[in-house]
Structure 1
Amino acid sequence: MNKKFEPLFEKVALPNKVELKNRFVLAPLTHVSSHDDGTISDVEINYMEQRSKDVGLAISAASNVTDLGKAFPGQPSVAHDSDLDGLKRLAKAMKKNGAKAIVQIHHGGAQSLPYLTPNGDVAAPSPVTLQSFDEKGEHDARTITHEEIEQTITAFGEATRRVIEAGFDGVEIHGANHYLIHQFVSPYYNRRDDEWGENKLKFPMRVVDEVVNTAKTYAEDTFIVGYRFSPEEAETPGISMEITEELVKNLINKSLDYLHVSLMDIHAKTREGKYQGEERIKLLHQWIDGRMPLIGIGSIFTAEQALEAVESNNVELLALGREILLDHRFINKIQNGKEEEIMSEFDPYREDYHDLPLDLWKQFNDGFYPLPRTDEK
């Protein structure tokens, strides 16, 4: 290995004393490859084992905690005890080469897809009409009831219990990307005039407490609990960096082991408000103030970009998303001094399809996700 890349392979200790073997994280990536009922498929096992083998922390695709929260075709489920057999296989595959294996627990809220939910039902903090994922048109989401809110909080706890029973090392609470937890924080999605609207952090904090308490009840002290969030949204009025500052300062007082910011570009700057023009990642790191590691992500396609992100001292851990899909040997190539051989562009003519599940390769080929391509030069 080129000596300058050694900082990428330093071990990282979490607050619960668990040690990660390096700074790399497999981002939670939608792979549309689980069975229709949410159980784990053989294709998914192979894909997740490949992408987990070299990272210190591997996070599964967003996994729905209730049937009402299903937001993707081929989405894995942690909503039922009947999901356990497949989850046990997945945990074993992800942990095979020394990574700590995490399940991202998720509820789509307004973004749930009517063609996947019971009776086409979709519920959100407040009524909203929107188009989500692969839909051709819009759908309506109704107001989630107080009783359903309490049931959903309990479901996050039950999902955590299943993750523990399946043998995973932890969970990541999905509070980002316009899904249910994010929606409760957002003044765009949450226009309620009850306790869940007056205090927009009440729902995410209740979910965190439910998950943490479940882990304390059923798991060892080494069980990892993380939280992912989006720092700003384009909607008006939407989540601002000022709102995120309040969120982060609440989260760092919880028994969490890391925070994970969702960004398309790790160097993205604040859109508006009193922090306008400042790098989001730098602000977040300042607010966390060393209480727990911050995972950064966004447009890391080369070894040099990875190194620069870590040496900025604004992140302790670096998640790989689109790049680890293009080349699952990304980390191995850096470790073996072959960083010049890294594939950083999507090649639609590769016979191995980048070792992607076919449905995911088709989404890449159709331009579903923005990424560099060999056929657009």
Structure 2
Amino acid sequence: MSKAFEATELGGKHLANRIVMAPMTRSRAYGEGNSPTDLMAEYYAQRAGAGLIVTEGTQPSAIGQGYPDTPGIHSAAQIAGWRKVTDAVHAEGGVIYLQLMHTGRVGHPTLMGRTPVGPSAVRAAGQVYTHAGPQDFVTPRELTDDEIRDTIADFADAARNAVEAGFDGVELHGANGYLIHQFLAPNSNVRRDAWGGGPEGRIRFAVETARAVADAIGADRTGFRLSPGNSYNDIDESDRTDLDATYGALVDALAPLNLAYLHQMEVPGVRDLTLRLRKAWPTAFVLNPASGAEPTGPDALALIEDGTADLVAYGALFLANPDLPTRLARGGPYNTPDTSKSFGGDHTGYTDYPSLG
């Protein structure tokens, strides 16, 4: 049997296999104050056959919301809504982590009722979807030193709320051009104080946030996601020397915390850096491998066999195949995702994908 289908341990939790459901925003948190619904509980429970589920990005505070109908974890109603999700997943034998995602400068005043915040007052090129349709990104308000520390505290409080809601752990979203990534990148962080400048300053927010969360709920319940070189949301990490220095320093600083895992969303052209980060990381290494225009496919399981990763994360294929580990073990067949139903809507394109048998 392929190693991918063998049980393993992660952060003290028993995983049935080494296949991870990657976080995917679905914008269906229609409950009170952006709280999860029974439909969301059904969606995640259907996919409990994953060794590990990482939820959609969830805002640790109201100002951290960047898209319509995404869930939070900063109110009593949200905690109660997420408890339905974790109970449903655990009833099916699954393990589930909550991804904490503060979108930073990626957002719009029409959504949050205030100007988005970021490491620097640098507007991202592009647009964001709102209930009123696509809107240009706005110039964020630069966080003060005190506000940065308050934001770190928000992450720690949100992690405690996640544990109260029954999650097995949390994943910090340091990828895809959101707040933590904005601090890491030289084009979105142009500060000249202790939170910016060279790589050592730019990694500080990520490291201090990870440390605060680990202190709050335990390092063995804390994961960290990164995506070196990812240009999503107008991030520019094209200087390869700076990229290598920044992420080398970040992983070196995070490693002593002994977090549950490091989760890399890989972009094309950085496999050499991926291997260096994997070698430097002391605990489980999860890889969402670069796959070009196609979704991550069955061939990615070879990365577990050859030791490139301990676990492999699947996104789009898990969206359309709730029983993905079973399908991978049998060699398919695979449902095709309806991408027109990716964000918002009802159960169609969400919980109505068939399982085998």
RMSD over aligned CA atoms reads: 2.5
1:211 maps to which of 205, 210, 213? 213
SS in 2 for 1:340: coil
- Pairs aligned (count): 331
Aligned residue type for 1:147: D
Answer whether contact 1:232 1:244 (CA < 8 A) is retained: no
What is the match of residue 332 of structure 1?
Answer: 326
Answer whether contact 1:67 1:118 (CA < 8 A) is retained: no
Unaligned runs of 5+ in 1: 271-277, 364-377
Query: Larger deviation: 109-118 or 203-212?
Result: 109-118
Aligned in 2, Cα 1:314/1:140: closer, same or farther, shift over 3 Å?
same
2:259 maps to which of 248, 256, 270? 256
Unaligned runs of 5+ in 2: 351-357
- Separation in structure 2 between the aligned mates of residue 195 and residue 233 of structure 1, nearest angstrom: 24
**Displacement, 1:205?**
1.3
- Separation in structure 2 between the aligned mates of residue 18 and residue 84 of structure 1, nearest angstrom: 22
Answer whether contact 2:42 2:85 (CA < 8 A) is retained: no
**Displacement, 1:136?**
3.7
- Separation in structure 1 between the aligned mates of residue 107 and residue 137 of structure 2, nearest angstrom: 12
SS in 1 for 2:12: coil
SS in 2 for 1:341: coil
What is the match of residue 105 of structure 1?
Answer: 100
SS in 1 for 2:68: coil
- Separation in structure 1 between the aligned mates of residue 64 and residue 127 of structure 2, nearest angstrom: 13
Answer whether contact 2:175 2:227 (CA < 8 A) is retained: yes
Deviations 1:219-246 (A, max 9, x none): xx8x521000111244166661331111
Alignment pair present for 1:224 and 2:218: no
Aligned in 2, Cα 1:283/1:133: closer, same or farther, shift over 3 Å?
farther
SS in 1 for 2:173: strand
Alignment pair present for 1:358 and 2:345: yes
Answer whether contact 1:39 1:83 (CA < 8 A) is retained: yes
What is the match of residue 70 of structure 1?
Answer: 65
SS in 1 for 2:153: helix
Task: Indicate the percent of aligned positions where both proteins have the same amino acid.
Answer: 26
Aligned in 2, Cα 1:79/1:132: closer, same or farther, shift over 3 Å?
farther
- Separation in structure 2 between the aligned mates of residue 111 and residue 347 of structure 1, nearest angstrom: 25
- Separation in structure 2 between the aligned mates of residue 166 and residue 157 of structure 1, nearest angstrom: 14
What is the match of residue 307 of structure 2?
Answer: 313
**Displacement, 1:362?**
7.9
What is the match of residue 373 of structure 1?
Answer: none
Superposition pairs of residues 36-75 of structure 1, within 5 angstroms:
37-51=33-47, 53-75=48-70
Aligned in 2, Cα 1:143/1:31: closer, same or farther, shift over 3 Å?
same
Deviations 1:336-367 (A, max 9, x none): x3x23223x44689xxx79x96369789xxxx
Aligned in 2, Cα 1:346/1:106: closer, same or farther, shift over 3 Å?
closer
Answer whether contact 2:38 2:84 (CA < 8 A) is retained: no
Answer whether contact 1:324 1:330 (CA < 8 A) is retained: yes
Deviations 1:60-90 (A, max 9, x none): 1110011111012111101223322101111
Answer whether contact 1:56 1:98 (CA < 8 A) is retained: no
Alignment pair present for 1:281 and 2:283: no
**Displacement, 1:19?**
2.5
Poorly superposed stretches of 4+, deviation over 6 Å: 359-363
Aligned residue type for 1:226: G
Deviations 1:270-317 (A, max 9, x none): 3xxxxxxx54432321222xx1111111445443x1322222311001
What is the match of residue 139 of structure 2?
Answer: 140
Answer whether contact 1:32 1:359 (CA < 8 A) is retained: no
TM-score, normalisation: structure 2: 0.85
What is the match of residue 193 of structure 2?
Answer: 194
- Separation in structure 2 between the aligned mates of residue 247 and residue 101 of structure 1, nearest angstrom: 25
Answer whether contact 1:31 1:360 (CA < 8 A) is retained: no
Aligned in 2, Cα 1:314/1:151: closer, same or farther, shift over 3 Å?
same
Answer whether contact 2:97 2:170 (CA < 8 A) is retained: yes
What is the match of residue 285 of structure 2?
Answer: 294
- Separation in structure 2 between the aligned mates of residue 194 and residue 153 of structure 1, nearest angstrom: 17
**Displacement, 1:96?**
2.5
Aligned residue type for 1:124: G
Deviations 1:132-187 (A, max 9, x none): 44234232212112221111111011101111111111011111111111111111
What is the match of residue 355 of structure 2?
Answer: none
